[in-house]
Chains A and B, each alone.
Chain A
Amino acid sequence: MVPLLLILIPLLTGLTAFFIKNEKAVRSWVLLSSGLTLSISLLGLTVLKEDKFLQFQCEWLQTLGSSFSVRLDGMGQLLCLLNAVAYPLILLATWNSSYKKSHNFFALMLLAQAGMMGVFLAMDALLFYFFWELALIPMYFLCSIWGGEKRIAVTFKFFIYTFVGSLLMLIGILFIYSHSPSHSFDIASFYEIHISSKQQQLVFWLFFIAFAIKMPIFPFHTWQPDTYEQAPTATTMVLSGVMVKMGVFGLIRWLLPVVPVASYQWGDVITTMAIIGMIYASLIAIQQDDLKRLVAYSSIAHIGLMCAAIFAENQSGMQGVMIQMFNHGINIIGLWIVVEIIERQFGTRKISELGGLAQKAPAMALLFVIVALANLALPLTNAFPGEFLMFNGLFNSLVTKYSVWFTAFAGISIILAAVYTLNMIRKVFYGNMNELTATVRDVRSNEKLALGIIVILIFCIGVYPQALLNVTKEFSEAIVKKADILPLFRGH
Chain B
Amino acid sequence: MPINYYIFLSVALFCIGIVGVLTRRNAIIIFMCIELMLNAVNLLLVAFSKMHYKTALLAGDAATTAGTDGQLFVFFIMVVAAAEVSVGLAIIVMMYRNIHSVDVNFLNRLKH
| Complex A–B touching at CB under 8 A | no
Q: Which residues of B does A touch, CB under 8 Å?
A: none
